[in-house]
Structure 1
């Protein structure tokens, strides 16, 4: 089903009236979570259908060295680059996360990772071809 902009705005306005459950916060270790994304998705719905909680989760995991997080991010239907910076998410976030800045950070981080991997893959392919030519030339 394809959603129109008016559908998304209607859903956004309707969900503002829905009471959200914050009880899970009481089970968390005591820390200052203001400004930190805890992947709760209270920022939803995003008019661009970005799963903001997962984007932030994969960004944090990838920055911590989790190699699978990049693949999981790439498999998302909508990416941080789809963000139009409308700010709906920030208005909905009870923890005052600067979501638009996090989306920019994700775009930059995952773009750099992709470029790094691409260069290394191309370099690896080049070296493999070079070694193959060298090995083949020894048989001539």
Structure 2
């Protein structure tokens, strides 16, 4: 996986791996053959981000956007990353090829193998017509 990012302001403490960023954006290119590869490049932006790189823990808040190379778009007010799992207890809206959904929370595996909207879900899915 290759990741690149920018921020209006960034504090990083190498000794503890602590990161604090404001007005940040990142792009992640998943490795081929992984669960995330089908999404294409992931583009992430949030006004506030903090985390501990070595501990694989972080938070983003203030309005978090995710866009993918495949055409998916998602938004939530805040998300927490802890190891291999992303969580949010805020409203989540997402749409992409063949779907439009909304939930009041999110639990997702960071490798892309599972994305589950929680606490009440509404949406539409378009199925391809059979030939």
TM-score by length of 1: 0.27
Q: Structure 1 or 2: larger helix share?
A: 1
Q: Please give the TM-score of this superposition, normalised by the length of structure 2.
A: 0.28
Structure of greater relative contact order (alpha carbons < 8 Å, 6+ residues apart): 1
Q: Which has the larger radius of gyration?
A: 1
Of Structure 1 and Structure 2, the greater strand share is in: 2
